Amino acid sequence: MKISDVEKITGLTAKSIRFYEDKGLVRVLKKENAYREYDEDSVERLKKIKFFREIGISVSELKLYFNHVISAEEMINKRRREIEAENVTSKKQYQDCMELLNTIAGSEEQHERTDAYPIIMNHEKVAIGIDIGTTTISAAVVGLERKRVIETYTMLGESDLSVAEPDFHEQNVDKIMDKLMRIAEFLTSSYPCTVSIGLTGQMHGVVCVDSNGRAVSSLYTWQDERADRRMNGKATYCEHLEALTGKRMNSGLGFATLYYNRKQGLLPPDAVTFCTIMDYAGMVLTGRTRPLMHVSNAASLGFFDISRGEFDQESIRKRVIRSILRAERLQYPHFFAERARTLGCAAESMELTRRISHRRIWRLG
């Protein structure tokens, strides 16, 4: 059917329909006479797009949804949280939105999408930035030739672990990496001329890693407060570290958490080193087995001198860090101080996933 017929059936304007085509959300057959021909599947897809757009779901989220990067449940939950956070003046409007979202969640999860279209490739040279936050994973695509932001994406992290202790805050590393790899795979497939991938994050915390480069602990986040507990009913673990070193120490910093775990026998037996979640992601993406930390991330561990790019020498002399790490087992990560440093180059041996290969990956500070 022609675009005029689709306008009548869907209630969308021709301009909107062409916009969704350009974004790769709708597939259309273009005939030799330049007319667009729409089939029933395309019309149903447009109805669904209109439905989602009316409740505030963005085009970028629809791209992730239709390309199987996120599920309907993930997309609906994100919009639900946004509505809950919005200043809705009409209580009825809020209730109508929530009922609509619940209806969508219930119907969509009955049949997962099987109608993903081939990804429309953009051959512009780009850099991709991925931010690992406490509650979300976000990505931005920046065109290097025109120096412009082309697209941005945000997906819920939903990686919190249920722990018995109310002052513990841990997240599932595998879930974080699964979401990160899904968005990275989608973006590098969409932009085959990707020049670099930058990783950043605001969630300072610590992950323990084994000799094969695998996470053997949860992500202990910056919100973790276990080190504020008291040792033998006296000073807290943080206060004890401060007394030993004369350096300020707060709960949530990597060494504070490691110190508590060390004293409580909670360090994983097969852990050989540690890093932040951003550095862990860089290690996995580049096929390394030892994390390479930027000094700004290393500073989040505590006892780190950024100007020198090394741990505080006085704390080392007092054997405080050694006592935390049990030096016979845990080793310091490697560090670098440059603003950007190549971690891996395009090579036959580097394969990020089955579809992400032959890329140059960067770790940005």
Give the pLDDT confidence of 126-156 residue by residue, as tens digits: 999 999 998 899 999 999 988 899 999 999 9
- If asked whether residues 93 and 169 sit together in one domain, one would say no
Domain match, 48 and 155 both: no
- Report how far apart, in Å, the C-alpha atoms of 339 and of each of 312, 359, 364 are: 22, 20, 6
Question: What's the total number of domains in the chain?
Answer: 3
pTM, two decimal places? 0.80
Do residues 302 and 165 share a domain? yes
One-letter amino acid for residue 195 of the chain: V
DSSP 332: P
Supply 44's token pair.
């149903």
List all residues 6 or more positions away from 310 whose beta carbon is below 8 Å from its beta carbon. Answer: 304, 335
SS3 breakdown of the chain: % helix, strand, coil, rounded to 5?
Answer: 40, 20, 40
Together in a domain, 172 and 282: yes
Other C-beta atoms closer than 10 Å to the C-beta of 277 total 28
CB 289 within 8 Å of CB 211? yes
341 pairs with which residues across the strands? 363
Question: Do residue 75 and residue 186 come from a single domain?
Answer: no
Compute φ and ψ for 335, nearest 5 degrees.
-125, 160
DSSP state of 160: B
DSSP 116: P
Residue 90 has pLDDT above 60, yes or no: no
Within 10 angstroms of residue 216's Cβ, the number of other Cβ atoms is 18
At residue 234, φ and ψ (nearest 5 deg) are: -110, -125
Whether residues 200 and 313 share a domain: the answer is yes
90 burial via Cβ count (<10 Å: 0-12, 13-18, 19+): exposed
Q: Say yes or no: 49 and 65 in one domain.
A: no
CA dist., res. 260 & res. 229, Å (int): 9
pLDDT tens digit string along 185-236?
A: 999 988 999 998 988 886 678 999 999 999 999 999 999 999 999 988 889 9
Show which of 54, 76, 96 is a domain's final residue.
54
Confidence check: pLDDT of 327 > 60: no
Shared domain for 296 and 226, answered yes or no, is yes
Residue 291, domain CATH: 3.30.420.40
Range of the domain at 31: 1-54
Residues 19 and 138 in one domain: no
DSSP state of 308: T
| Residue whose structure tokens are 């891996």 | 344
Chain segment 234-290, per-residue pLDDT in tens: 899 999 888 888 888 899 999 899 989 988 989 898 888 889 999 999 999 888 888
Q: Rounded to whole angstroms, how far apart are CA atoms 216 and 150?
A: 37
Give the integer Cα–Cα distance in Å for 200 and 179. 15
Task: Give the model's pLDDT for residue 291.
Answer: 87
pLDDT for the residue 179: 93
Same domain, 44 and 177: no
Task: Provide the pLDDT confidence category of residue 338 given band limits of 50, 70 and 90.
Answer: low
- Please say which residue of 36, 54, 72 terminates a domain: 54
Looking at the structure, tell me whether residues 176 and 43 fall in a common domain: no
Q: Is residue 326 a contact partner of residue 274, using CB atoms and an 8 Å limit?
A: no
Are 240 and 257 within one domain? Answer: yes
pLDDT reading at 360 higher than 50: no
Angstrom distance (rounded) from CA 120 to CA 191: 9
Our CA dihedral for 276, 281, 282, 288, rounded to 10 degrees, sits at 100
Which pair of tokens denotes residue 10? 């869907």
Q: Domain boundary at 118, 137, 158, which?
A: 118
